[in-house]
Amino acid sequence: MVMTEDQVNASAELAAVLSVRHLTKVFGGLKAVNDVSFDAAPNQVTAMIGPNGAGKTTVFNLITNILSKDAGQVRFLGRDLARMPAVKIAGLGLIRTFQSARVFPGMTAIENVMVGGHRLSPRSGASQTLWLRGARHEERRILNRAEEMLELVGLAPFRNTHATELPMGAQKLLEVVRALMAQPKLLCLDEPAAGLNDTETQELANLLRAVRTLGVPVLLVEHNMSLVMNVADSVVVIDSGAIIATGTPTEIQNDSRVIEAYLGREGHAAS
Amino acid sequence: MLEFLQICIGGLVVGAIYAAIALGFSLVFRVTGAINLSQGGFAIIAAMIGYTLGVSFGWPLWVAIPAAVAATVAIGTMIGAFTFVPALGRLSNANVLMLTAGLLTAIEGAALIVWGSQPYAMPPFSGEEPLVFGAVRVPTQAFWVFGATALCIAALWFLIARTKLGKGLRACAENPTAAGLMGIDVAQMTLLSFALATLIAAIAGVIVAPTTSLQFDTGRLFTISGFVAAAIGGIASFPGAIIGGIFLGLATQLATAYISSLFSTAIALLILLAVLIWRPSGLVGGGAGKRQDTRDEVKAVGHAARLPPNLAWLFAAIALAAAALVPLVVTDNGILSGLVIALILFMTLMGLDVLMGYAGQVSLGQAGFMAIGGYTSGYLSTNYELSAVLSILAGIGVSLLCALVLSVVTLRLRGLYLALATLAFGLLVDSCAVGFLDITGGPSGLVGIPSFAVAGFEFATPRAMYYVVLALDAIIMVGLAGAMRSGFGRALKAIRSDQMAAAALGINTVRYKLAAFMISVTLASIAGSLYAFFFNFLSPEMVGTGRSLELVAMLIVGGESTLVGGLFGALLLTLLPTAFQPLAVYKTFASGALLVASFLYLPQGLYGAFVRMAVWLARQRGKAKKSATKTTARAL
């Protein structure tokens, strides 16, 4: 039996955690994002790469409705995200981080991570006000989990340090585990390696592999090629707002268009 | 028609002054991104110095007036250099705004000390005889006002648009970091903008002085009107400031003439709230949208002082025990009354701390809810003999209703617009408290309110009331501490520092902000009712905007986002004037100056200092113990 394109799409969507179809955004006369479609599969790290200004972060902001899209559709776990506010999207389990590490100033490292536990803590403010047993237990549980999270990235010794006083790399890791704390059904990371040195990038790669082992799918927008080639299961390459290739890291590395558009340029710059 | 023209001329005179002050707001805002509320204070200082020199010392006006302006600018520049400029680098813009509110209070307090509370009347510059055009009479001072305002506008425009200095100012307005990299001394430009705003305010002050009666706190009126005018027109726009000022002047004068003088401010404030709903950037203002996925305000949120939990419980127990014993030791009813007031205010402060300290929502109108609660329960218990508890509940109901309506405006706003909206709300309540004579008793207050009573038992003495309020405070404190140490408090703190990142983690920012607001309103309302029951009397200035600003001062001086900090501030600012009656005249000055000093030098407040001391002492004891065990170990 031959399936129509729609049916193919439908079955792909069922399998995919996130499916993006025909996403388009125009800034003035410039098509910043032009007819972008891709899927993020369960238990996989999907990476989106591309040269500076290719429109990666714009795609990201369109997915999470920080920017409004001009055309296209984003479905997360089968639900259309159109016009859904950020808090609802997060409520569904799509948790994102930001390009510039946005830890909460005025809070310690452990408190920052504990904020991530908010999504899955059903106890009301009223029960906390009355110091009810359930609320206190929940608090303990969140604290323990947050401590495990800090342990995971080696930040446990800094649990009571104010988050903004940590070095940039630590802040970025903190932001990732804060998002993990929310038990995402899809973890979206916006250039997590930007501003990190090689050691810190290595720590990040380890963390991402650990995340995948936990069964959390990841959508990774990244500039750092070695990180992507290291951890990604499938790669989407964007240039000038449009997808030019998709495939496994090995396929991408051997794709002539990618080499021409992206790796070629980078190789040129390196030599 | 003639009457209408006459009123319009009056409106234009007032409007020109508002426009001048609004211009100052706009200038400082454009260069620094912060709001400088102290301007009205400088206007009144200039007018007062002008009066002293010109009338008391008998100097000719053409010497006295420029001398007054020069002296004010000198004082203003000094104050700006030591407070405003350093504050900009360290504090968020909302906190800078509150710091300048403290400056305004301190200036008012200084004026009270120097010139007392009596009103002064300055003679017009060119005689009392008005000029007559046909049948329209124009007082000569009007020409001085128009001339001076026009001159200020022209000079400012020339400076900004045509000089190198102006280019520097504009560069700082666009991007201070880049301006600094280009070799522009940003601190100097900031100070320059502050000095220029002071100059404009001083000129406005001396020019308008003959048309109004001067009092130490008239400056507040100038500040508020100028701020409202700037906001109506668009705070980032010079033409907006001018249009807003004239619009506001005309609207208030027409309202006074044709509706009622009691509600003229109310109408101005309703216009402002309407503008804030439909065009938050003002009638003229625009401005590009900001990028949302990067943080716009990098100035760090301060770290609140925390006691380790075991020490916290220990100190709480000691403090509560000591507080319970106080009335057995203190027999002086004056001091005991002071303590009751401090505890009542502390109740409001705990709510304000949840709203401001934790959720980061500025409120300059908190006393407005004390007023609503106080008047509602006072009115019901006086006229309908409703029991105290029921009337307090009714007060809460009315307050929450008003808060819901207000939150339609405030939930969309942040930072200075939020400050503006809450300030406007407080002022609106003020003018209603004065205006609704039948319910509130007007300016002379609501009298004959019964004492607080439960089931026939009357808490009429300060001592009885002390225990009631202490018990309520303790219960509220424990409850709020439970919520603030858990998920609720964390969600609020996350919202305070980064709304967008908070939302991305699934925190419903609207719901939490609303909850924090409702908690603060409920507590303010209860406190207002208790206040009325305690005094058996309530007048507008007891729960007016002055009180709102004082509450902010108490919170900051005591220490934000600590819950208990407010108690330190309330005790300090309530008991000092009670204990040392002759110093009462210094109270206004002290509360303003303490607020400014706390922002600059004690960012964690008195409570922060206390925590540092307690932790240090505990550590010393720990060390002593350790070294003691060491020596015993060695001895063995």
Q: What domains lie within chain A, and their CATH numbers?
A: 17-103+167-270 (3.40.50.300)
**pLDDT for B209-267, tens place per residue?**
888 888 888 888 888 889 889 888 888 888 889 999 999 999 888 888 888 777 777 88
Collect contacts of B258-264 with beta carbons under 8 A, ≥24 apart. Answer: B260/B435, B262/B431, B262/B434, B262/B435, B263/B431, B263/B435
Backbone dihedral angles phi then psi of residue B87, each to the nearest 5 degrees: -65, -35
Q: What is the pLDDT of residue B576?
A: 81
Q: What is the pLDDT of residue B543?
A: 93
Q: What is the pLDDT of residue B292?
A: 41
CA distance A265 to B492: 47
- For residues B520 and B366, the answer to whether their CB atoms sit within 8 Å is yes
Contact residues on chain A for B301, CB-CB shorter than 8 A: 105-106
- For B482, which of A64, A117, A129 is closest by C-beta distance? A129
ipTM: 0.89
CA distance A104 to A111: 9
Does the beta-carbon distance from B504 to A86 stay under 8 Å?
A: yes
The reply to whether A217 touches chain B by the CB within 8 Å rule is no
Query: Strands A186-190 and A234-239: what pairing?
Result: unpaired
Q: What is the pLDDT of residue A265?
A: 52
Average pLDDT over residues B577-597: 82
The reply to whether A137 touches chain B by the CB within 8 Å rule is no
Average pLDDT over residues A187-214: 89
CA distance B535 to B599: 33
**pLDDT for B345-357, tens place per residue?**
999 999 999 999 9
CA distance B554 to B262: 30
Which chain B residue lies closest to A189 (C-alpha atoms)?
B504
CA distance B485 to chain A (A): 9
pLDDT band at B293 (very low <50, low <70, confident <90, very high): very low
Buried b (16+ CB within 10 A) or exposed e, B493-525: bbbbbbbbbbbbbbbbbbebbbbbbbbbbbbbb
- For A102, which of B295, B487, B515 is closest by C-beta distance? B295
Alpha helices (runs of H) in B279-365, residue ranges in sequence order: 309-329, 333-352
CA distance A92 to A72: 20
**pLDDT for B31-65, tens place per residue?**
888 888 999 999 999 999 999 999 899 889 889 99
Distances (CA, A) of A239 to A39, A67, A242, A263: 18, 19, 6, 12
Residue type, A142: I
pLDDT band at B425 (very low <50, low <70, confident <90, very high): very high
pLDDT at B630 over 80: no
Higher pLDDT, B474 or B93: B474
Interface of A with B in 38-57 (CB under 8 A): 57
Instruction: Choose, out of B91, B297, B475, B486, the residue to mutate when testing the contact with A (most A CBs < 10 Å).
Output: B486
Average pLDDT over residues B92-119: 88
- For B493, which of A106, A139, A164 is closest by C-beta distance? A106
pLDDT band at B580 (very low <50, low <70, confident <90, very high): confident
pLDDT at A37 over 90: yes
pLDDT at A150 over 70: yes
CA distance B572 to B579: 10
Does the beta-carbon distance from B478 to A57 stay under 8 Å?
A: no
- For residues B595 and B99, the answer to whether their CB atoms sit within 8 Å is yes
The structure tokens listed for B279 are 């065009």
- In angstroms and rounded to an integer, the radius of gyration of the C-alpha atoms of chain A is 20
CA distance B500 to chain A (A): 8
pLDDT band at B289 (very low <50, low <70, confident <90, very high): very low
CA distance A141 to chain B (A): 12
Interface of A with B in 62-91 (CB under 8 A): 64, 66, 85-87, 90-91
Q: What is the pLDDT of residue B331?
A: 83
CA distance A250 to chain B (A): 32
CA distance B36 to B22: 11
CA distance A193 to chain B (A): 16
Q: What is the pLDDT of residue A40?
A: 92
- For residues B50 and B122, the answer to whether their CB atoms sit within 8 Å is yes
Average pLDDT over residues B506-527: 95
- For B507, which of A57, A61, A118 is closest by C-beta distance? A118
Task: Give the A:B interface size as CB pairs under 8 Å.
Answer: 121
The reply to whether B615 touches chain A by the CB within 8 Å rule is no
Q: What is the dihedral of CA B289, B293, B295, B296, to 10 degrees?
A: -10
The structure tokens listed for B31 are 């260069």
The reply to whether A122 touches chain B by the CB within 8 Å rule is no
pLDDT at A231 over 50: yes
Higher pLDDT, B224 or B366: B366
CA distance B584 to B579: 9
Q: What is the pLDDT of residue B126?
A: 81
Higher pLDDT, B492 or A50: B492
Which chain B residue lies closest to A107 (C-alpha atoms)?
B303
E-state strands within A127-214: 186-190
Average pLDDT over residues B10-18: 90
Which chain B residue lies closest to A64 (C-alpha atoms)?
B504
CA distance B219 to B43: 6
Contact residues on chain B for A99, CB-CB shorter than 8 A: 293-294
pLDDT at B182 over 50: yes
- For A106, which of B301, B483, B503 is closest by C-beta distance? B301
Q: What is the pLDDT of residue B634?
A: 62
Average pLDDT over residues B152-168: 89
Q: Provide the whole-model pTM.
A: 0.88
The reply to whether A133 touches chain B by the CB within 8 Å rule is no
Query: Strands A45-49 and A71-76: what pairing?
Result: unpaired
- For residues B337 and B530, the answer to whether their CB atoms sit within 8 Å is no
pLDDT above 70: percentage of residues in chain A: 91
The reply to whether A123 touches chain B by the CB within 8 Å rule is yes
Q: Which domains does chain B have, with CATH numbers?
A: 2-278 (1.10.3470), 329-614 (1.10.3470)
Instruction: Choose, out of B290, B490, B519, the residue to mutate when testing the contact with A (most A CBs < 10 Å).
Output: B490
Least confident range from A3-17, A92-106, B347-361, B432-446: namely A3-17
Query: Strands B131-133 and B136-138: what pairing?
Result: antiparallel
pLDDT at B299 over 80: no
pLDDT band at A269 (very low <50, low <70, confident <90, very high): very low
End-to-end C-alpha distance for chain A, whole angstroms: 52
Q: Side by side, which strands form the sheet with A18-27?
A: A30-40, A18-27, A71-76, A79-80
CA distance B381 to chain A (A): 30
The structure tokens listed for B316 are 């709480």
CA distance B636 to B628: 12
Instruction: Choose, out of B499, B505, B508, the residue to mutate when testing the contact with A (most A CBs < 10 Å).
Output: B505
The reply to whether B301 touches chain A by the CB within 8 Å rule is yes
Residue type, B45: I
Q: How far is CA B94 from the centre of its chain?
A: 11
Which chain A residue lies closest to B494 (C-alpha atoms)?
A104
Return mean pLDDT, chain B: 87
- For residues B349 and B562, the answer to whether their CB atoms sit within 8 Å is no
Q: What is the pLDDT of residue A268?
A: 47
Does the beta-carbon distance from A102 to B498 stay under 8 Å?
A: yes
Contact residues on chain B for A128, CB-CB shorter than 8 A: 482-483, 485-488
Interface of B with A in 445-504 (CB under 8 A): 478-480, 482-483, 485-488, 490-491, 493-494, 496-498, 500-504
Q: What is the pLDDT of residue B348?
A: 97
CA distance B309 to chain A (A): 14
Contact residues on chain A for B505, CB-CB shorter than 8 A: 90, 95, 115-116, 118-119, 178-179, 182
The reply to whether B505 touches chain A by the CB within 8 Å rule is yes
Which chain B residue lies closest to A108 (C-alpha atoms)?
B303
Average pLDDT over residues B508-517: 93
Phi-psi region of A188 (alpha: psi -120 to 50; beta: other; left: phi over 0): beta
- For B506, which of A66, A118, A164 is closest by C-beta distance? A118
The reply to whether A95 touches chain B by the CB within 8 Å rule is yes
Does the beta-carbon distance from A106 to B515 stay under 8 Å?
A: no
Does the beta-carbon distance from B505 to A119 stay under 8 Å?
A: yes
pLDDT at B553 over 60: yes
Higher pLDDT, B291 or B71: B71
CA distance B340 to B542: 15
- For B491, which of A99, A118, A178 is closest by C-beta distance? A118
Higher pLDDT, B518 or B632: B518
- For B505, which of A90, A129, A142 is closest by C-beta distance? A90
pLDDT at B287 over 50: no
Q: What is the pLDDT of residue B471?
A: 96
pLDDT at A248 over 60: yes
Higher pLDDT, A14 or B470: B470
- For residues B213 and B119, the answer to whether their CB atoms sit within 8 Å is yes
Q: What is the DSSP letter of B303?
A: P
- For A98, which of B483, B501, B508 is closest by C-beta distance? B501
Contact residues on chain B for A119, CB-CB shorter than 8 A: 505-506
CA distance B168 to B474: 54
